[in-house]
Amino acid sequence: MSVEVGRRVFVGSVATGLPLFVGGGMPLAFAQRQSGTATNKDPVALELIAEMKRAVRGLSKAPSGEHSRRLASSLRLLAVWGTSNQLDARVKETLRGVIAREGRDVLVRREVDLAMFKAEAREFGFDGTSAAPLPSLPSVDYTARQRVVDDLLANGVTGRWRAVADMLETAANAFDRTASRRSAGMTLVAQTDPSVCRMIQQEMYNLSIQMAFWCAPWFYWVPEPCGLTTSAYLGVAATAWWYGC
């Protein structure tokens, strides 16, 4: 199914009031954590995530304004999808449940499983044949982790997805300008905008912490939670590489 079909399904789902999430209380949550079985196979979200993966595979091979915009567009549509389904409220509820059961410190200090990250990255084109290298995970100090957790507990995730999309759009415009100058035969010099690199770095910090949460079994009710956040992180990391940050 193309992303255009996905958008039509999305609009139709919202218009008719069809539920896109599968609900579940605490007993179901613990059962799903034990079995590792996802309950949400929503076709709209899955198609948007598939489109994100295609865009990231493109970015792993070359700098492309088109692929950056495709990734940004998918993130914006996922934010709309999430808002229409109370995603932010459910994210906050899930994280508060983790804190209640396991303690805030466990949440804040949780790390990304490196083997899982590398396995996911291979699915996105970072398999030794990509032009952009497999990115390393940034070291994020405890204070910064606390800020990310506080933001998620206060605001959820859709606002962050929109912020990442805006940053990717800015980078896409820069890629387009570079391609245009090359086609015109202009000699290029380093034109990295430090402010854009700071935005990229901040989003990489945020997404690396989110990966640690979303790749845990806590978000069983979200379609492909690990694939979603990993694709966003790898897309931003590839953008950073091509942008020269």
* pLDDT value, residue 6: 42
More confident residue, 102 or 19: 102
Distance of alpha carbon 55 from alpha carbon 234, whole angstroms: 10
Distance of alpha carbon 235 from alpha carbon 127, whole angstroms: 15
Give yes or no for a contact between 196 and 174, defined as CB atoms under 8 angstroms apart: yes
Is residue 194 predicted with pLDDT exceeding 50? yes
* pLDDT value, residue 90: 95
* pLDDT value, residue 198: 87
User: What average pLDDT score do residues 163-192 get?
Assistant: 69
* pLDDT value, residue 104: 95
* pLDDT value, residue 40: 67
Q: How far lies 189's CA from each of 63, 168, 169, 192, in Å?
A: 16, 22, 22, 9
* pLDDT value, residue 39: 52
Q: What are 63-105's pLDDT values in tens digits? A: 888 999 999 999 999 999 999 999 999 999 999 999 999 999 9
* pLDDT value, residue 199: 84
C-alpha dihedral (173, 179, 180, 181), degrees to nearest 10: 110
User: What average pLDDT score do residues 112-141 get?
Assistant: 90
Is residue 14 predicted with pLDDT exceeding 70? no
Closest by CA to 69, choosing from 172, 206, 195, 163, is 172
Q: Tell the burial category of 83 from Cβ atoms under 10 Å away from its Cβ (0-12, 13-18, 19+).
A: middle
Please provide the average confidence, as pLDDT, over all residues in the chain: 80
